[in-house]
Amino acid sequence: MKKRKLPTQIATSINYDRIQRESFLSCWFLSYCLLVSSAERFIIRSAGDAVRDIGDQELKSNLKLCFFQEAQHARSHHIFSERFFEFRPMLRMFVKMNDYLNYRIVEPLAPGRLKLSVAAAMEQLNAEIAYFGLQRLREISNEESFKQILSWHFVEEIEHREHIYDLMREKDVRQGAKVFGMMLVWWSFSFWITMGAVLISWPQFGVWRLCGRDLRKRGILSRLWRSAWRYCRKEYHPSVETLPPEFFIYQRRVKAFE
């Protein structure tokens, strides 16, 4: 795990109009970028609360780096989103609705351990989206800045994928809460990101019409489902996942941001 900062001009030089015309898959990843900033802040809040009283110093310093990476992602995606909302204000309303329901209404009602299990489940699905994204970056978009922001983010998601999980184990979160957290996150990720992609691609009927075929053929939702299924096994740990060769290729490329 490394500390890297994405140059601001990359997040501000993206041609959104081009991305939203490319395919439903590119709209899906654009939607992910708009929604993920609040999810990352939630991860920092819930894991930050839980980390205070743990004694494992190695885990503490890993989590510190993980929080640094997440804070950078949240910041760059926020800049990215604000520019996008300037010409698609309806999407700002959509993201605000997601933030209000999930983080203003539901979050304060949830007990600390459930929030931690939700954060760990988010990291699992973030890592799965990252595996998929790095393997199929060329299919997602031809927009260079968009590919740079995605590859930087995805490399770091894979690098820190297991630390929130380790914290959850350290805090003795039960199997039932772990599975329930994943059910909430799988549903929430699949629904909100896909709905966002539908709105982004609207009213480009050519892209919108192909949404079912695009998602089925490329298989992003079924990969999230399989990843959630593996995660729910009692003996599972994220470190058992095989890293795709693309991870090492892109990890060398994002060295420039260190």
Q: How many chain residues are in contact with Fe ion, going by CB under 5 A?
A: 6
**Closer CB to Fe ion, 22 or 40, in the complex:** 40
Q: How far is the CB of 205 from Fe ion (least distance, A)?
A: 33
Q: How far is the CB of 73 from Fe ion (least distance, A)?
A: 4
Q: How far is the CB of 36 from Fe ion (least distance, A)?
A: 6
Q: How far is the CB of 153 from Fe ion (least distance, A)?
A: 6
Of residues 62, 35, 202, the one with CA closest to residue 129? 35
**Closer CB to Fe ion, 153 or 178, in the complex:** 153
**Closer CB to Fe ion, 72 or 145, in the complex:** 72
Compute the distance between CA of residue 163 and CA of residue 160 in angstroms, rounded to an integer: 6
**Closer CB to Fe ion, 157 or 246, in the complex:** 157
Q: How far is the CB of 126 from Fe ion (least distance, A)?
A: 5
**Closer CB to Fe ion, 67 or 84, in the complex:** 67
**Closer CB to Fe ion, 18 or 237, in the complex:** 237
Q: Is 141 left (phi over 0), alpha (psi -120 to 50) or beta?
A: beta
Binding to Fe ion in span 175-234, by CB under 5 A: none
Q: How far is the CB of 66 from Fe ion (least distance, A)?
A: 7
> Which part of the chain contacts Fe ion (CB under 5 A), choosing from 15-23, 35-43, 211-219, 228-236?
35-43
* Three-class SS state of 239: helix
Compute the distance between CA of residue 154 and CA of residue 134 in angstroms, rounded to an integer: 7
Binding to Fe ion in span 69-128, by CB under 5 A: 70, 73, 123, 126
Q: How far is CA 14 from the centre of its chain?
A: 19
Compute the distance between CA of residue 247 and CA of residue 135 in angstroms, rounded to an integer: 8
For Fe ion, the nearest residue by Cβ is 73
Which value, to the nearest 10 degrees, does the dihedral of the CA atoms of residues 220, 225, 227, 230 take? -160
**Closer CB to Fe ion, 22 or 157, in the complex:** 157
Q: How far is the CB of 61 from Fe ion (least distance, A)?
A: 16
Residue 41 is a binding residue for Fe ion (CB under 5 A): no
Cβ neighbors of 48 (< 8 A, separation 6 or more) are: 67
DSSP annotation of 3 = -
Long-range CB contacts (within 8 A, 24+) of 216-220: 218/25, 218/136, 218/139, 220/25, 220/28, 220/129, 220/132
Binding site for Fe ion (CB under 5 A): 40, 70, 73, 123, 126, 157
